[in-house]
Structure 1
Amino acid sequence: MERIALLGLMGSGKTTVGERLALRLGWTYRDNDGELLARFGASAAQLKDRNGLDALHAAEAAVLLDLLNSEERSVLTAAASTVESLTCRRVLAERAFVVWLRADARTLAARATEGSGRPWNDDVEAQLRTQVEYRYPLLEQLADLTVDTTDLDGERVAEQIAEAVSSPVVSSPAGVPAAAGPRRGRPARHAG
């Protein structure tokens, strides 16, 4: 049971980093967006339009919890909303090495509007600033490793994470060597 979970707001680089990290480690890559599409036949934006935001967040949490119960060695990317779920945070803490991909709201907005199928309102940067205020304290508390992705490309971020999880520090419950993190009673480790 070995899992690395990448968390961060939309535009933080989870998909890009996740694909590269899984390839680097030789692990399976499981992406929330792909899992939503496979399970529900719709993108996050389509699910939001069809069923509302609360239903989308419930679907994202259900997908993450299923991925965390998988027995395969995998790199997982979680929807940004999942950090708001106490159940998701508890299971993440128990079953994964959690990496927070952090970036400022302006960078996130520029990246997030490049992709399609994302559930945004008109003022993306304002929406992201609100999410930063609410979700960043939760992410900071949960993370075993924090990587600021503002000025780094996906390959460099994947390299930093691979180095961190390969260091012979302390083994986490997920079987991955653990860098210090608040949930393990030590200050979070920051890369970069």
Structure 2
Amino acid sequence: MTNAKQKNQAKKQSVARQYGVDRTIVLVGLMGAGKTTVGRRLARKLNLPFVDSDHEIEKAAGMSVAEIFECFGEADFRSGERRVIERLLDGRPQVVATGGGAFINEATRGLIKDKGLSIWLDADIEVLVERTGRRDTRPLLKTGDPKEILTRLAAERAPFYAQADMKVASSSGPHEDVVAGILEALKARKAA
């Protein structure tokens, strides 16, 4: 590695260290909470790489998440998801956006808790309904009324999401506000 590259790498790592980030940040929460959009912006602020676990799963499988669900079912999808997330947690810190059900799986949650820093992006149902209604790519929402499904999923999954290391509200306002909330929570965690 050249001297200039080493200095650039050190500079990038120092931004993350200012916030006490020494491991991969894993964003968890329901679909529509903003994990991917917020994750990209957070990664830029921290000078860390960003990766979306669903995109990595699609690359590995050669098919979309919806196709995996349709062809193999949710159990096989969750197994593949766990293996991909395990790979993403190895190596240098980065920001990872997970699918809405990833943190519900006990084995996946254990990996994230052991090797990463989990942040629950919590959003109101109305925000989730509006955001998920923008695209028709959510397999779990194709089986009925999205608001009813999201309300049920929120009730079922909240106890698992509550096990995340941190919780930050994801509101209908600008995503930059959520990023600012995460950065403040990271500073507070570092100071504690």
Q: TM-score range by the shorter chain?
A: 0.7 to 0.9
The structural deviation recorded for 1:5 is 0.6
The structural deviation recorded for 1:89 is 1.6
Structure 1 stretch 126-135 or stretch 48-57: which is displaced more?
48-57
The answer to whether the Cα contact below 8 Å between 1:25 and 1:162 also exists between their aligned partners in 2 is no
The structural deviation recorded for 1:162 is 2.1
Amino acid in the other structure paired with 1:113: G
Question: Counterpart in 1 of 2:180?
Answer: 159
Q: Does 1:106 align with 2:134?
A: no
The structural deviation recorded for 1:53 is 2.1
Amino acid in the other structure paired with 1:128: L
Q: SS at the partner of 2:101?
A: helix
Give the number of aligned pairs: 168
Instruction: Please give the alpha-carbon distance, in whole angstroms, between the structure 1 residues aligned to 2:152 and 2:82.
Output: 20
2:147 counterpart (125, 146, 159):
125
The structural deviation recorded for 1:59 is 2.1
Amino acid in the other structure paired with 2:77: L
Q: SS at the partner of 1:4?
A: strand
Taking only aligned residues, the RMSD between alpha carbons, in angstroms, comes to: 1.6
Instruction: Please give the alpha-carbon distance, in whole angstroms, between the structure 2 residues aligned to 1:145 and 1:33.
Output: 22
**Structure 1, unpaired ranges of 5+:** 171-192
Amino acid in the other structure paired with 1:14: K
Moved over 3 A (4+): none
Instruction: Please give the alpha-carbon distance, in whole angstroms, between the structure 1 residues aligned to 2:160 and 2:83.
Output: 19
The structural deviation recorded for 1:25 is 0.4
2:105 counterpart (76, 85, 88):
85
Instruction: Please give the alpha-carbon distance, in whole angstroms, between the structure 2 residues aligned to 1:158 and 1:42.
Output: 31
Amino acid in the other structure paired with 1:162: L
**Which aligned pairs between 1:1-192 and structure 2 lie closer than 5 A?**
2-68=23-89, 70-119=90-139, 120-121=141-142, 122-140=144-162, 142-167=163-188, 168-170=190-192
TM-score, normalised to structure 2, is 0.81
The answer to whether the Cα contact below 8 Å between 1:60 and 1:81 also exists between their aligned partners in 2 is no
The answer to whether the Cα contact below 8 Å between 1:6 and 1:76 also exists between their aligned partners in 2 is yes
The structural deviation recorded for 1:155 is 1.2
Greater helix share, structure number: 2
Instruction: Please give the alpha-carbon distance, in whole angstroms, between the structure 1 residues aligned to 2:125 and 2:82.
Output: 23
Instruction: Please give the alpha-carbon distance, in whole angstroms, between the structure 2 residues aligned to 1:130 and 1:59.
Output: 25
Instruction: Please give the alpha-carbon distance, in whole angstroms, between the structure 2 residues aligned to 1:80 and 1:169.
Output: 30
Q: SS at the partner of 1:164?
A: helix
Greater Rg over alpha carbons, structure: 2
The structural deviation recorded for 1:164 is 2.4
Amino acid in the other structure paired with 2:186: V
The answer to whether the Cα contact below 8 Å between 1:17 and 1:158 also exists between their aligned partners in 2 is yes
Amino acid in the other structure paired with 2:53: N
Quote the sequence identity (%): 29
The structural deviation recorded for 1:57 is 2.2
Amino acid in the other structure paired with 1:28: P
